[in-house]
Chains A and B, each alone.
Chain A
Amino acid sequence: MESEFTKLFELIVSASLINNFVFTRFLGLCIFFGVSKKMETAVGMSITFTAVMMISAAVSWVVFTMVLVPLEITFLEIIVFIGIIAGLVQASDTIMRKTAPGLYYKLGIYLALISTNCIILAVPLVNAGEKYSFIESLAFGFGSGLGFALALVIMASIRERLELAEVPAPFKGLPMAFVITGLIALAFTGFSGLITL
C-alpha cells in the first residue's frame, strides 16, 4: 500500500516539477503568456485549470477504457477527448458565471480558450498513451495542474515588476517574456533526474 502512495507522490512531483508542462513540454504557452501579466488573474486561472484538468482526466479515462478500448476505436481519441473537454469547459463557464461573476468577468475570453488549450487536451492523451490507471490519471492531472499553477505564479510575479523595467524597444512585451521563460526553464532543468519513474 505504501509503495502505491509513493508511486502516486512521485507521479505528482514528476508531472509538476520535472516534466513541468510549460517549461519542459512547452504546452499551454498561449494561455501562459496571455494571463501571466497580473498575479490575480494568474491565480484564478490556475485554480480553474487544475479543476478542469482533473475532471477531464477522470472523465476521459472512463470513456477511453470503457468505450474506446472495448470497441477498438482508439484512433478516435482526439475527437472524443476534445468533445469531452469542450463540454466540461462549457459547464464550468456556466458555473463560474453564476457563482463567481467577478472572476468570470476578469478571465473573460481565456475561459473560452481553455477548450482550445493544448495542456488540457494533452493530459488525457498522455494518460491514454502511458496506460495510467484511474487513480494515476487523476494524480497526473493534479500534478500537471500544480505545475502549471507554479509556472503561472512565478511568471506573473516577475512580469508585474518587469512593467517598471527598461527593456530595449524590439524586446518589449512578448520577446522579453520568452527570454525570461527561457531562464526559468533553465532553472527547472535542475530538477531533472530528481526522480526516475
Chain B
Amino acid sequence: MSSPSTNSLKDLFLNGIIKENTIFKLALSLCPSIAVTNNLKNGIFMGLAVLFVQTMVNLTISLMRKIIQPKVRLPIFMLVISGWVTITQMMMAAFVPDVYAKVGLYIALIVAFASILARAEMFASKNSIVPSMVDGLGMGVGFLFALTVISFFRELVGKGTLTVPTGLATQHVFTFINTKPVLIMVLPAGGFLAVGILMAAFNWIDSRYRKSAPSSH
C-alpha cells in the first residue's frame, strides 16, 4: 500500500455508501434495518451508533494490526468490537435514554454485525490508520443512509408523521397526512415489505445507471 491520494480516499468513502452499501447491496446486518426503523429518530440514532462503532473498531484494529497474532485474530476482533459496543451502549443509555429504551437490545446486538467484523478482517487489519478510518466512516455513513431512508419511508407512510431529532433529548414531530395512514408499514410485517420494495428500487436505479453509462467500466 503506497500513500493514498485524496482521490482514492474519496472512492473508498463512496464505496461503503453506494457500491457496497451494507443493507441494500450486501444484505448484511439486516436485523436493525427492520427492527428500529418505524420511527425516523430511532433509525437515525441507530445509524449513528453503528457509524461510531464501525469507525472506532477500524481505527483500533488498524492501530493494533502489527501486534495481533494471525491465529488469534478473530477473538481479538470480537473483543475490540464488544468493547466499543459496550461503550456505545452506556453512552446511549446516559445521553438518549428514550431512544435507548426502544433500541437497547439492538444496540447490544451490533456486536454480532457481520459487516463490522468483515471490515475489520478484510480492510482494517491490512491497511494503515487513515484509509481504515475512511473505510469505516464510509461503511457507517452508508448504513446511516439506508436506515434513514427506510425509517423516513416507513414513518411517513405508516403514521403520516416524521420525528426529526433536533438535539439529544429534543425532537420535533411533523405531521403530513391527517387522514388514516397505511398502518401496516409501522407494524413488523411492514418493515419487511418496505425493505423489499426499497431494495428493488435500489436495484432498478442501479440497472438504469449501468445502462446509461456502460463505458465507465
Contacts and interface: CB of A to CB of B under 8 A. Distances in A.
Interface of A: 23-30, 33, 75-76, 78-79, 82-83, 86, 113, 115-118, 120-122, 125-126, 129, 168-172, 174-179, 181-183, 185-186, 188-189
B145 interface: no
Contacts of A182: 189-193, 196
B188 A23 contact: yes
B189 A183 contact: yes
11 contacts: A33-B27, A79-B79, A86-B75, A116-B112, A117-B112, A169-B203, A169-B207, A170-B207, A175-B197, A182-B196, A183-B189
Interface residues of B, number: 43
Given A122-B109, A188-B189, 19 more contacts: A24-B188, A26-B32, A26-B191, A27-B31, A78-B86, A79-B86, A83-B79, A86-B75, A116-B112, A116-B117, A120-B112, A171-B196, A172-B203, A175-B199, A175-B203, A178-B192, A186-B189, A189-B188, A189-B189
B30 A30 contact: yes
A182 B187 CA distance: 10
Contacts of A174: 27, 196, 199
A121 B190 CA distance: 25
Contacts of B192: 178-179, 181-182, 185
Contact of B196 (A24, A118, A175): A175
B143 to A, nearest CB: 14
Nearest to A167: B200
A27 B33 CA distance: 10
Contacts of A26: 30-32, 34-35, 188, 191
Contacts, number: 123
B31 A29 contact: yes
Name the 4 nearest CB pairs between A and B, nearest first. Answer: A178-B196, A182-B192, A182-B193, A185-B189
Contact of A126 (B27, B105, B200): B105
A33 B207 contact: no
Given A79-B83, A175-B197, A185-B192, A113 B114 contact: yes
A118 B112 contact: yes
A78 B108 contact: yes
B176 interface: no
B195 interface: yes
B111 A33 contact: no
B85 interface: yes
B75 to A, nearest CB: 7
Contact of B184 (A78, A186, A188): A186
Contacts of A79: 79, 82-83, 86
Contacts of B168: none
Nearest to B89: A78
- Listed residue (B29, B79, B82, B90) with the most chain A CB atoms within 10 angstroms of its CB: B82
A175 to B, nearest CB: 4
B58 to A, nearest CB: 16
B30 A78 contact: no
A176 B108 contact: no
B31 A78 contact: no
A122 B189 contact: no
Contacts of A122: 105, 109
Nearest to A186: B189
A46 B68 CA distance: 35
B86 A75 contact: yes
